[in-house]
Structure 1
């Protein structure tokens, strides 16, 4: 057993959940924790991949036919992973919410704060734009954290029910953390789904707020499809994903222009691309590590954007804008970007949202975008944005 791997009993925390389409994956019973940082995870021979394979091999030795690894990898892959190899798991039909009154069970909200606050975030946007004009960075994603403090421990099952009611088709997830907290959320963005030698990815970049009336809502979607700023932001993401994937593909199909998809709060520019791998043995986890972090959550060039984020953001992202999902011992799996999410630690809930910044960005509009993106989790907590 590697130093970063240990067995956790089912009594030490909740089980894992990952919902996709009409199905959901749930784990049960004891599980092995893999906290090895995922840096270098695109390489089959890396220490990270060796650690994952050893845990899967041990599960197979114990009688599992096709063990899986599931959980979350942080934004910065130099930080510890939070991956598990569960003793038992099952796929089943996606469950409906238990009750329509889930948020009624939440304790009273005592206080909340934004890190950074509105002036601080707008200053960071201005600083980023200044960097664009005097350097090579073309895009950077800046984020905010909203910290909520309640009068008592928050019922995570209730939050998940509320998320299900708001988002019937998003990728829902629940990952227990080693410190006793829980990562929960419902992501709209597919990083990578692989089966055999075929894969699909659906990056999102460029957003517009949904409107309450159908005609105005459609106009917002149409305006997004014509927005030079948002189309540029999206193209930066697609060009980078093409650069990463093309050398590993016998076939790569990327639409010439984006379409729009919607969540309850936002329209997003979306490009659904698919392809076939030269090496079908490359696992979903390897391929996801090769893609992560995309310019949709970091920026471009990646290393420089990452340095700028660490310089201007006043908090550590941790698992936010990382990836969450699963991969089985055959290499098939599905990973989504860790968005529309929060960390629950007893009476404290920390929510996260980000916005892609390019030279044409306006600080006021980018702040408004982060507040709109927070709505999903705020509504789950029974609060207005």
Structure 2
């Protein structure tokens, strides 16, 4: 099914509480979000001036929505939509079997399994000679299908898998569409109230109920995963604490589950000191958290640049919306992929700490890919029979 002009300008961000649905483009914002927390910086100036132009053009309550890349020095992918509406959650329709297996023509890993595991070993060796305590390494799984993707049906399947997640659809500059359902809330702001729900530490769900409970209990008792989670929480405490009059952080994480994974989760709530500070400014302060980059942030980013053979683009960035009053909601751009014609590019990553094991980290990203693969009706066994050789890294387009 070819994409119509309307399809190419549709945006969507659906949280567990409500959904934001938009179409048409009044303005695009490509200004990089580098130092985007600065109220007088170039990025926030671009946001404010675009909002003002939209108001002058007759839009009473303009919003900005879209995605910001992992590397905030790169162009943003943000829009002021021409039309938008809020919708209350609706009951999920019955599964009609529209998630039958996609017709898979080819599949490719970037990097392949052996290269990813070597990168894990390289990162762990680096920890012993630097101040880095965690680095998140990722992988692209590229699929080529024999049939076009119906994005509306795909989004419905993703919602069935994770109705409590943050679902998104964003048109990209290259004509592709970013689609996913993130379990991780980076930041929500409503008035002076803020909330963040970082995740770090994961385990694959099991089909057998008893085995699944045992897996969850092992994760909750895992010293390695608690260490990884604590690095994320402490960084968020240092970033948000000075901006807040109060910030409530649980003493220890709890478990949340999606259809594919168990996660260690902490729900942080607070009150912002300056009501004029926007959700987007606060999200820019937090991004990227150690959950998607590492700790310390700048050192981990340099290590990622060294060992990852591709540019992440929007993956592990942030996706969401902000209104003219500064309210908004931003999720971490994970459990996602880009769709362009017959090519699907899926992304997944794993947090590497000194106690990490390469085989276990590969298994973790396999499990994380399951969310998107299941939405296409695919599994790992099908991929093995459709693989082609890796292309050189300089041929990879993010």
TM-score greater than 0.5 by the shorter chain: yes
Structure 2 residue 55 is matched with structure 1 residue 54: no
The offset of 1:101, in angstroms, is 3.0
Question: Is 1:86 the equivalent of 2:90?
Answer: no
Alpha-carbon offset, residue 102 of structure 1: 2.8
1:178 aligns with: 173
CA distance in 2, matches of 1:37, 1:128: 28
**Partner of residue 193, structure 2:** 198
**Residues 325-373 of structure 1 deviation map (CA, whole Å, 9 limit, x = unaligned):** 0000000000000000000010000000000000000000000000000
Q: Deviations over 1:202-222 (max 9, x none)?
A: 000001111112222122111
- Aligned counterpart, 1:5: none
**Cα 1:99–1:180, aligned 2, differ >3 Å: closer, same or farther?**
farther
| Contact 1:33–1:82 (Cα < 8 Å) also in 2 | yes
- Report the Cα distance in structure 2 between the residues aligned to 1:374 and 1:215, rounded to whole angstroms: 24
Give 1:62 shift: 2.1
- Match for 2:98 among 88, 98, 102? 102
1:178 Cα deviation (Å)? 2.1
Q: CA deviation at 1:99?
A: 6.0
Counterpart of 1:221 in structure 2 is 216
Distance in 2, Cα, partners of 1:367 & 1:226: 21
Question: Which residue matches 1:4?
Answer: none
| Equivalent in 330, 333, 343 of residue 325 of structure 2 | 330
Is the deviation greater in 75-84 or in 57-66? Answer: 57-66
Counterparts of 1:10-89 in structure 2 under 5 Å? 11=6, 13-89=8-84
Residues 207-216 or 151-160, more deviating? 151-160
- What is the correspondence of 1:252-271 to structure 2 with a 5 Å cutoff? 252-271=247-266
Cα 1:146–1:89 change in 2 (3 A) is same
Per the TM alignment, residue 92 of structure 1 is displaced from its structure 2 partner at its CA by: 0.5
Q: Secondary structure at the match of 2:21?
A: strand
Q: How many Å apart are 1:67 and its aligned residue?
A: 1.0
Question: Which residue in the other structure is 1:208 paired with?
Answer: 203
Say if 2:36 and 2:284, in contact at 8 Å, map to a contact too.
yes
Which sections of structure 1, spanning at least 5 residues, go unmatched?
1-8
Distance in 1, matches of 2:378 and 2:342, equals 15
- Give the conservation status (yes or no) of the 8 Å contact 1:114–1:147: yes
> 1 CA distance for matches of 2:96 and 2:287?
36
Whether the 8 Å CA contact 2:336–2:347 is kept in 1: the answer is: yes
- Does residue 381 (structure 1) correspond to residue 376 (structure 2)? The answer is yes
SS across alignment from 1:252: strand
- Normalising by structure 2, what TM-score? 0.92
Q: Which residue of 2 aligns with 1:367?
A: 362
When structure 1 is superposed on structure 2, of 62-71 and 277-286 the one drifting more is 62-71
Partner in structure 1 of residue 392 of structure 2: none
Task: Show structure 2 runs of 5+ residues with no match.
Answer: 381-398
Counterpart-to-counterpart distance in 2, 1:216 and 1:12? 43
Give the conservation status (yes or no) of the 8 Å contact 1:105–1:155: no
Is 1:343 equivalent to 2:338 in the alignment? Answer: yes
Equivalent-residue separation in structure 1 for 2:140 and 2:211 (angstroms)? 30
Whole-angstrom distance in 2 between the partners of 1:63 and 1:320: 34
Match of 1:153 among 130, 148, 156: 148
What residue is the counterpart of 2:383 in the other structure? none
After superposition, give the CA deviation of every residue in 1:41-87 in whole Å (9 maximum; x if it has no partner): 10011111111111111111222222100000000000110000012
Are 1:170 and 1:187, in contact at CA under 8 Å, matched by a contact in 2?
yes
The alignment status of 1:248 with 2:243, answered yes or no, reads: yes
SS in 1 for 2:99: helix
1:262 and 1:127 mapped to 2: Cα distance? 31
What is the CA RMSD across the aligned residues, in angstroms?
A: 1.5
Quote how far apart the aligned CAs of 1:28 are: 2.3
Cα displacement string for residues 170-206 of structure 1 (whole angstroms, at most 9, x for unaligned residues): 1100001122100000000000000111100000000
Aligned pairs for 1:263-282 (under 5 A) are: 263-282=258-277
Q: Aligned with 1:100: secondary structure?
A: coil
Alpha-carbon distance in structure 2 between the residues aligned to 1:315 and 1:373: 19
C-alpha separation between the residues in 1 aligned to 2:119 and 2:254? Answer: 30
